[in-house]
A = this chain, B = another copy of it.
Amino acid sequence: MSQSLPHVLNGVRVLDLTRALAGPSCTRMLAEMGAEVIKVESAPHGDMVRNASTFRNKRSLYYVQHNRGKKSLCVNLRDPRGMALVAGLVGQVDIVVENFKPGVMADMGLDYERLKALKSDVILCSISAMGQTGPLSHKPGYDYIAQAYAGITSMIGEPDEAPYIPGVGLGDVSTGVHAALGVLAALRHRDQTGEGQHLDVALLDVYYHYHEVNVHQPRATNGRLRPRPAGRHMTYACPAGVFQAAGGYVVIMAHLHHWRDLCKAIDRPDLVDHPDFQTDNLRLKRRDTVTRILEDWLQTFPDVPSAVAQLEKFGVPVAPVLSVVDTLDYPHLRQRGTVRTITDRLHGELDVPGFPIKFSGFPEELPLEAATLGQHNEEILTDYLGQTPEQVQELREAGVLVEDER
C-alpha cells in the first residue's frame, strides 16, 4: 500500500464521496495534513468540476486546487458491481464524507445504518447546504442560497439598497473546514470509546455561526437594535472602514485610542481632543466630516502605498485594499506562503492559496498531486480490496471502472 508522506494525520483513512466544493474542501484539508483519501468519482465523467477552470490540456484547475493529494476511483454508481466496491471500501476506512443532496445516500443504500453494518465504528460526515433535518433540508446546495437564509447577505451593502454577494467561496470552503474539525473530534471520540457517529454539517449553520453580535442584539434590546449592513464603514466605531485614496482604496481602523495616532499622522493635532471628535460616538455623529477630512488628506499622496506608509509610521491600523492580482506577488503573502505556486503535471505551474494552518513540526507543505480520472482504480482494488489485476481488467471492460487521462 502506498505510504503517505509524514504529516499529522498519517494513518487516517477517508472514503470521499464528495464533489464540487464544500465536501472536497473537507477532504482536501485532511489530505494536506497527511490523511489517505480515496475520492470516489461517478463514472463516466467524475466530479462535475472536472470541466471548470480548464485552460491548458483540458485540465481543470478547479479540480486540481481542491483535490490534490486524493486518490481517484472512478466507478459506475448505477451498477451493483460498482456499489459493491464502494461498500467494500467502507470497511477499510475510518471516515466517510459525502455532500450529496440529503436523502441520496439512503437511495444509494449507503445511509448511516448501512455504513455501520459495514463498519461498526464508522464516522460518517454529511455536508449539505441547509442540513440533513428541517423543512428546508431539500433545498439545492448553492452557497448564496444558504448565505441569504443565514442573514449574512443582508449584512453586505448599503442599508436601504439591494445587498451584494461576495465573489468568493466563503461558505463552501469554510463549511469544509468545519466538517474537517467535526471529523477529527469524532475520530478522537472513536479512539477513546470505540463509537462512531454521523455528523451533519450545513452551510447555513456555518454562515450563521459567523454572527458575532448580530444574533444576540435584537432580543437583548427589545428590538431596538436591528442589525443592518455596515455599508463601507462600521456602525459602532469611527473612523473604521473603507476610504478612497489616490488610485485605490484603504481600510483604516482609527477608532478608540487609534484616533490620537491618526490625528498625528495627518498633522491635525487640534482634532485629538476637539469636543466634536473626542470619542467614537461623537465621531459617528459626524462621520461624513471625518470621512471627508481623511479622504482629502489621502488625496495628498500620489498613491495607496505612500499613504499607507505614512499612517503606519504613526501606528495607525491600515491596509491597502489589494486586488487578487495584487496579492499574488505581495512580499508578505509570498514569504508566509499565504499564496504558493505548485506544479501540476498536465497544466504546469499554478497559484493556489497556501494551507491555512502552519505546523512547526512540518514546515514544508506536502508536494501533493491531483489525480487523473480513475488514476488509482487498480491500486485501490488490489491494495484495499484484494482483487487481482485480471478482475480489475474485467470491471474496466464492463464499464464499471472508468479511466481518463485528464
Contact = CB atoms under 8 A, between A and B. Distances in A.
Nearest to A147: B251
A198 B213 CA distance: 31
Interface in A198-225: 198-202, 204-206, 208-221, 223
Contact of A199 (B145, B165, B353, B359): B359
A352 interface: yes
Contacts of A356: 178, 201-202, 205-206, 208-209
| Interface residue SS majority, chain A | mixed
Contacts of A139: 317, 319
Contacts of A218: 324-325, 328, 351
Interface of A: 8-12, 21, 29, 33, 52-53, 55-56, 61-62, 64-66, 112, 130-137, 139-140, 142, 144-158, 162-170, 172-174, 177-182, 184-189, 191-192, 195, 197-202, 204-206, 208-221, 223, 226-235, 240-242, 244, 249-251, 253, 317-328, 330-333, 335-336, 338-339, 347, 349-361
Given A8-B186, A324-B154, A325-B218, A336 B212 contact: no
Contacts of A198: 360
A185 B251 contact: no
A231 to B, nearest CB: 7
Given A53-B213, A167-B214, A226-B323, 14 more contacts: A21-B212, A62-B212, A112-B360, A148-B320, A151-B326, A164-B232, A165-B233, A165-B241, A167-B234, A205-B356, A205-B357, A209-B355, A219-B350, A227-B324
A221 B331 contact: no
B211 A169 contact: yes
B133 A351 contact: no
Contacts of A9: 185, 188-189
A112 B360 CA distance: 10
A180 B182 contact: no
Contacts of A66: 212
A53 B216 contact: yes
B133 A336 contact: yes
Contacts of A134: 331-333, 335-336
Contacts of A154: 321-324, 326
- Most chain B CB inside 10 Å of its own CB: which residue of A163, A173, A221, A332: A332
Contacts of A332: 130, 134-137, 149, 204
A210 B174 contact: yes
B319 A215 contact: no
A112 B359 CA distance: 13
A382 B67 CA distance: 50
A62 B242 contact: no
Given A142-B317, A145-B251, A154-B322, A214 B244 contact: no
A4 to B, nearest CB: 13
B167 A217 contact: no
Contacts of A29: 181
B163 A242 contact: yes
A266 to B, nearest CB: 18
A162 B242 CA distance: 7
Given A253-B144, A331-B135, A361 B189 contact: yes
A148 B219 contact: no
A215 B150 contact: no
30 contacts: A33-B185, A65-B216, A131-B338, A134-B335, A137-B332, A142-B317, A144-B240, A144-B253, A148-B319, A149-B322, A149-B330, A151-B327, A155-B167, A164-B164, A165-B230, A166-B166, A167-B229, A167-B230, A167-B235, A178-B357, A181-B181, A181-B184, A182-B357, A184-B188, A204-B336, A205-B336, A208-B353, A215-B339, A218-B351, A219-B328
